[in-house]
Structure 1
Amino acid sequence: MNQWSPPGHPEPANTPPDVHTACQLWWAVIGLGVVRLIAGAVDRFLNRRQLAKDLFDQVRAQQPEASLAQVELVVSVMQVLMVVFGLALAVGALAVVHQLRRGRLWARTLLDVAAAVLVFGAIGTMIGLGGIQGVVAMVTGAVAILQAVLAGGALFLCRRSESDTFFRTNAR
């Protein structure tokens, strides 16, 4: 500790290059997630009539008074909420990545869990690649696999010895 720093407030350690690189990889993962979100929203928007008709067929059995216009409105509202929720999740993930750069151990733990989810999701995507139809589905599948690779690389970089020491000294 520096003799000029007040007691109880240690100077922050310099961020190792591996942690900087891991943060950049997480930014790319989040950016690709936004690309997936937008591609999925565009695909659902283009197919909203068919989606509403399919949902209407299911709803009509339980609520015969529901109209197709009401179901189309529900589908449109659901699509908007999905985009808003996805963007909010991306902003939250960016905040966690910012805390990762500051050396917060809890942020590394959260992103480790996120990396595991992305990797398992990519494995499921690779298994189902044979049944994918359409350009949007192919693009979102490829982006999911790329996200998993980048997240795995970020996880590896945050677990290296210099990075681990950095997180242990800045744990709060």
Structure 2
Amino acid sequence: MTSQWPQTPPQQTPPQQTPPQGPNPHGLPYPPPVPQPKPDRPAPVDVGTAAQLLWVVAVLGVIQAVAAMALVVGEKSTFVDELMTNPKVKSGEVAMTRENVEMLFYVGIAVTGVLILLLTGLFVLFVHFMRKGRNWARTLLTVVSVTMVVWTVPVLFGIGSDGSSIALAIGGVQILQAVVAVGAVVLMHRKDSNSYFSKLPPS
């Protein structure tokens, strides 16, 4: 029986390298280890539910705005007639035809729609930051929600409504929006929510 020569040495696992300690060959200390970022703390159930309610508030606000613009468009002739009877227009001091007035009317509707979309997007952005635990966003949303409730009080008594079906529908949406906003505010200020926004450990 013959053996192979030279014999192949058995494979050896390389020794594990330990991180260098002390100064490096150039006389400079090694940089400290980079701390790993801590994972985001999950939002409590109350905060998540409040965010969902505020999204509903945003959707109801868009519905209310669209209905209000539809009501205004339906009364276009009345607005145009009132503007055409303006003394400056009638006297010729401001040269405007009825076609110009109608064009300005539609431009105003379009600008209003863009502003509503921008404000709604800003509101949803605040909701996002609130859900991430930003206390300033919670404060802003609380102020906005309380303002909605104050504006809704006259609607409960029918003040400012002409009694039309669209006006009644707008009032109903506004009341529902205020009720949902109140629920969101209550959830944002409960015990677990306060601990979350104050960066305290969960109870």
How far has the Cα of 1:121 moved from its partner? 0.7
Contact persistence 1:30–1:90 (CA under 8 A) = yes
Whether the aligned pair in 1 keeps the contact of 2:161 and 2:168 (CA below 8 Å) is: no
Q: 1:44, 1:150 → 2: CA distance?
A: 26
* Aligned residue identity for 2:135: L
What residue in structure 1 maps to residue 10 of structure 2? none
What's the counterpart of residue 40 of structure 2? 12
User: How large is the RMSD of aligned CA atoms in angstroms?
Assistant: 2.2
Q: Deviations over 1:117-144 (max 9, x none)?
A: 1000110211335843211110111111
Which ranges of structure 2 fall in alignment gaps of 5 or more residues? 1-33
- When normalised by structure 2's length, the TM-score is 0.75
Aligned match of 1:132: 162
- 2:178 is aligned, of 135, 139, 148, to 148
Give the aligned partner of residue 27 of structure 2.
none
Instruction: State the partner residue of 1:108.
Output: 138
Structure having the higher helix fraction is 1
Quick one: which of 112, 122, 127 aligns to 1:82? 112
Amino acid at match of 1:156: V
- One-letter amino acid of the structure 2 residue matched with residue 146 of structure 1: L
Query: Using a 3 Å threshold, how does the CA distance of structure 1 residues 86 and 131 change in structure 2: closer, same or farther?
Result: closer
Relative contact order, higher structure (CA 8 A, sep 6+): 1
Deviation at 1:37, TM superposition (A): 1.2
- Asked if 2 retains the 8 angstrom alpha-carbon contact of 1:129 and 1:141, the reply is no
| Number of the residue aligned with 2:57 | 29
Tell me the number of residue pairs that the alignment of Structure 1 and Structure 2 aligns.
166
**Is the radius of gyration larger for structure 1 or structure 2?**
2
CA contact (8 A) 2:161 2:167 kept: no
Of all paired residues, the percent bearing the same amino acid is: 31
For residues 37-116 of structure 1, the aligned pairs below 5 Å read: 37-58=65-86, 60=89, 63-116=93-146
Point out where structure 1 has 5 or more consecutive residues left out of the alignment.
none
